[in-house]
Structure 1
């Protein structure tokens, strides 16, 4: 049975030059759960950052964080000594582990991005950072993130895959499957249909029992699709990912 998370459910913990719409994936269950995560998929922060904004150096502990930019450029600096511009098609994954510091600056046009927080399978792992250049406008699915040892270009210390697609209006996409993992599809921008349901910007859909049906793009869209081990062991000690809202 398809379950939908509507856009009107999301809180905005920050508004102004740095606006975050905080998507709590477990809210898709309504009042059936005491945890707002979807297994180890903890938080999707859909952020808009204005020109001139600096998010000062700050620490994350036990968060696995994928930065996924739809538009604009953020200038990244971190405790591992990396400095790099992050833009559409440039992925960054911070495996915070025992502790990782970073700073982000927006020097030019505003940035629209996702910060995706996954709970790792253990506490206080070694901190790491990863980068990957991908096609910016792939109309079909592109595997971005997977567990350690998978063929994905970036890894999380968890049994989770993250893929994306940018279908054009009228495109129909078959939704892939991963054995034993539950799909969770988030519309970052645009509008799609799944069977007779319409899913718009900042909305999500899942099916806990069956694979998701094919999707049809009503308009040009950016969609991010997660496959999650709902029974995975996970650390609850993350700075952001470990909080039960």
Structure 2
């Protein structure tokens, strides 16, 4: 389970308390039952599990079909996705299927009212994100369409401490998808070595354009090694080719 998904469960738990409702999590894949308890421990009250060998690899159409059906059946007020590569591909497909709105890369989520000349709205999700190159913070709402949907960047919300004693319900979701959903097949998988984990690092030694050259970053690396930290860089330094994207 991606860490951002667990972070979102923690925030969903807080939002659900304000709305006096429950938190559900959708788990899709093959042989994923060992992951259920982690979702419950981090805040899910209900886990909807679609477990099938055909779902071993992420494929856009079947992975979008499963949550779309569940949303149509259970009609949640809010649906959240991690703003990962997969989440950014999946969320707009589900939103398009359901003909609802989607706010991408949110940095905060809150519950509040909204008033127009015609109507007063309650229990709306404030979807907060940077706009215009980060020069303003926009608050976006979806007053007339459900569910309210947003993707959220990793590290925005605190990772909740798991509670192994939490109880939750598990619902098995039948995977009876049409053959045309499997029109794309994975023919080869290539795993890349994980790069530097800046989010999880306690010490980061970073350099920017002022370092001046690739050789200058050797000093940055030496200092990071001495301090037991990792190396970071500005976009300008990366674009100049002084350090890699990893």
Q: Is TM-score (shorter-chain normalized) higher than 0.5?
A: no
Decide which structure has greater strand share: 1
If each structure's helix is expressed as a fraction of its own residues, which one has the higher value?
A: 2
Q: TM-score range by the shorter chain?
A: under 0.3
Normalised to the residue count of structure 2, the TM-score between the two structures is 0.26
Structure whose CA Rg is larger: 2
